[in-house]
Every structure is written in structure tokens, then in C-alpha cells.
Amino acid sequence: MKVTYICDRCGALIGALSLTEDELQQIGVDILTVDLHEDIIKSAETGALFIYSLCDHCVEAIPLHEEEWFFRRKPNVH
């Protein structure tokens, strides 16, 4: 199955993969809530999936405070 990642903000092609059903489950598509799945993933009649995310450029351009991006913060080391 072809999976294409597209930037939800600017429409840029982020990348494309050919995945099996098992590989698709490994990337976590099946754990999304129904609402998130409908917002993020669109399917074509051919069976291809389009996953809408943000490209690196748009992530850097979004004016959010760094503390709001928990996944980008440096880990607290004790």
C-alpha cells in the first residue's frame, strides 16, 4: 500500500512509502482515535493513504512557545 505524507499547512510532499498492512500497523495508524484518524488520514479509491502532518519548515515557522512542544524539549537529566 502506498502511503504519502503531505504537509497539512503548505501542501508540500514530505515523503512516500510502500508499506504492507503489518508495517502500517507498526507505525501506529491503528491506534488513532476516530476523530484524529478522520482529520489526519485520507484514503484514495486506489487504496493509497494520504497522511497529513507538518513539514520541518512549517514546524519551525509556527509561532508556538518551546514549552508547548513537549517532544522537542531537551529531556530532564537527573
* Residue 73 pLDDT exceeds 60: no
Boundaries of every domain in the chain: 2-68
Tell me which amino acid residue 62 is.
I
Chain centroid to CA 60 = 16
pLDDT of residue 62: 78
Q: Residue 64 corresponds to which cell in the numbers above? A: 508556538
pLDDT in tens, 9-47: 999 999 999 988 888 888 777 777 888 788 888 988 888
Q: Which of 48, 39, 38, 57 is nearest to 4 (CA)?
A: 48
Strands 49-53 and 13-18: unpaired
pLDDT of residue 47: 83
Of 3.30.1490, 3.30.70, 3.40.50, 1.10.1740, which CATH number belongs to 2-68? 3.30.1490
